[in-house]
């Protein structure tokens, strides 16, 4: 099951604030790729968004040469051990040198976890091994942060085969790593990092497949002690996201129930978690979380079988949710969100191993999530808080961002990016 979920073909789409727009132009980025997955970031420092991709056992990136109309393919590494079994990526600035690096999980047994250092604006990439003995390292989704509060970035990863969750301490200069066991839960499939209890340190959330247990783990004593708390249960929840969806200054959890084909919100009510079904559809999967319509409420992008859409947050769980369709007929069966730039990443499964990577041009950029760990000179609070946080304003923003949203009418659907 885990291997099947990873081996898919990706399409990319850029989110829009013009939620009632009717036209979404599609552009081919790359073709003849083997089981690709893709992520978006400004890799070469030229102020536009490029695409980082896994294709079979290869790591490649596509350079955006002309506002999305011309793409130049570059190979980072032609054969990464275990990557053909599937993999996931987190993109951020690992070494705090103001460019974009990334961490990859290669989901083999044993499997590789490594980070790739970006040098000379993506002209050179240096692999640094974190561990090469992980047993099927599974889905990572913002699985990094300063766990031990020592000023550098640590890495969190689940092991699907053993059910163990580890955090890897950045022990010396981003090159020496020490593994620490957090907890074990049967067939853990995803992890994410956020401050769940508001005490300014980073905790973890994890989900399992197929059983569907969802837990959060409280970070006590700078990563040396962890306390487990049950959030709830949702069958086949192979990915999860963390955000404050009801504007009550705490973190909620969004996932899916693969048995009932529903999107699930676990609302953080302090001592308890309240489960709400917020959308439904064949193979529905949560993706990007952002304010799609500018009403100061975070909405949820979703993908599914033959559908791409978003769920409108009308004011939190009590106010209700409205399901909207963006596009249909694409044979979608899952959806992921890069979180670094304003792109939806949605996935199409094919019976053959080769297809194309595509993207959809957004009408206007609304917000840029930015790197969770700051660049040099960014206030300390931003380095240790999750992406949906008041300290977000200190991170890199782009024109038309959350601090100064630009609006376009429906007739301006083809407005260029600025």
How far apart, in Å, are the Cα atoms of 337 and each of 80, 184, 382? 23, 26, 21
- DSSP per-residue letters across 290-352: E-SSSSSS-EEEEEETTEEEEEEESSSTTT-EEEEEEEE-S-EEEEE--SSSSEEEEEE--SS
Which three-class secondary structure state does DSSP give residue 134? strand
In order along its 418 residues, the chain shows pLDDT tens digits of 333 333 333 344 333 333 333 455 566 788 777 877 778 889 999 998 899 998 889 999 999 998 888 899 999 999 999 998 889 999 999 999 999 999 999 999 999 999 999 999 999 999 999 999 999 999 988 999 999 999 999 999 999 999 999 999 999 999 999 999 999 999 999 999 999 999 999 999 999 988 899 999 999 999 999 999 999 999 999 899 999 999 999 999 999 999 999 999 999 998 899 999 999 998 898 877 888 888 999 999 888 877 778 899 998 777 889 999 877 765 444 444 433 333 334 333 333 333 445 443 332 222 222 222 222 222 222 333 222 222 222 222 222 333 333 222 222 222 222 2
Q: At 154, list the tokens.
A: 């640590």
Task: Tell me what pLDDT residue 287 has.
Answer: 77
| Total-model pTM | 0.78
Task: Map tokens 């020592």 to a residue.
Answer: 150
235, with CB counted inside 10 A (0-12, 13-18, 19+), is middle
pLDDT value, residue 376: 27
What pLDDT sits at residue 334?
A: 43
Q: For residues 256 and 259, what is the distance between their CA atoms, to the nearest angstrom? A: 9
- ω into residue 172 within 30 of 0, thus cis? no
In angstroms, the Cα distances linking 183 to 65, 159, 225, 246, 383 are 45, 11, 10, 29, 24
Q: What is the pLDDT of residues 46-68, one digit of tens each?
A: 998 899 998 889 999 999 998 88
Sheet containing strand 241-243, strands side by side: 241-243, 252-257, 262-268, 273-280
Q: How high is the pLDDT of residue 330?
A: 53
**What pLDDT shows up at residue 255?**
96
Q: Do residues 189 and 166 make contact, with C-beta atoms less than 8 angstroms apart? A: no
């Amino acid at each position: 099951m885990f291997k099947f979920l990873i081996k898919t073909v990706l399409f990319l789409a850029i989110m829009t604030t013009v939620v009632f727009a009717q036209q979404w132009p599609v552009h081919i980025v790359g073709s003849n790729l083997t089981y690709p997955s893709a992520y978006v970031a400004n890799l070469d420092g030229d102020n536009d968004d490029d695409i980082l991709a896994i294709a079979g056992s290869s790591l490649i990136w596509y350079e955006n040469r002309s506002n999305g109309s011309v793409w130049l393919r570059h190979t980072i590494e032609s054969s990464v051990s275990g990557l053909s079994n599937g993999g996931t990526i987190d993109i951020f600035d690992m070494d705090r040198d103001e460019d974009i690096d990334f961490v990859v999980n290669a989901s083999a047994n044993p499997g590789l976890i490594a980070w790739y250092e970006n040098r000379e604006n993506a002209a050179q990439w240096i692999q640094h091994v974190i561990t090469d003995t992980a047993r099927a390292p599974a889905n990572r989704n913002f699985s990094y942060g300063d766990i031990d509060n020592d000023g550098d970035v640590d890495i969190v990863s689940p092991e699907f085969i053993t059910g163990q969750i580890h955090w890897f301490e950045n022990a010396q200069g981003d090159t020496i790593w020490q593994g620490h066991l957090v907890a074990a839960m049967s067939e853990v499939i995803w992890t994410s990092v956020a401050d769940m209890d508001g005490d300014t340190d980073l905790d973890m959330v994890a989900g399992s497949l197929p059983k569907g247990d969802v837990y959060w783990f409280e970070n006590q004593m700078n990563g040396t002690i962890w306390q487990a708390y049950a959030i709830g249960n949702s069958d086949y929840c192979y990915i999860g996201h963390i955000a404050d969806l009801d504007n009550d200054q705490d973190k909620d959890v969004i996932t899916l129930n693969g048995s009932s084909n529903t999107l699930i919100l676990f609302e953080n009510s302090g001592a308890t978690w309240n489960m709400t079904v917020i959308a439904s559809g064949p193979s529905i999967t949560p993706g990007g979380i952002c304010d799609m319509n500018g009403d100061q409420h975070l909405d949820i992008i979703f993908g599914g079988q033959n559908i791409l859409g978003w769920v409108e947050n009308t004011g939190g769980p009590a106010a209700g949710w409205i399901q909207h369709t963006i596009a249909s007929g694409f044979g979608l069966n899952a959806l992921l969100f890069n979180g670094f730039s304003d792109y939806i990443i949605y996935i199409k499964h094919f019976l053959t191993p080769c297809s194309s990577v595509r993207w959809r041009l957004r009408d206007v950029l609304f917000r840029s999530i930015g790197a969770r760990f700051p660049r040099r000179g960014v206030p300390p609070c931003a380095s240790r808080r999750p992406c949906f946080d008041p300290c977000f304003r200190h991170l890199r923003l782009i024109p038309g961002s959350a601090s100064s949203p630009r609006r376009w009418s429906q007739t301006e659907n083809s407005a260029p990016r600025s």
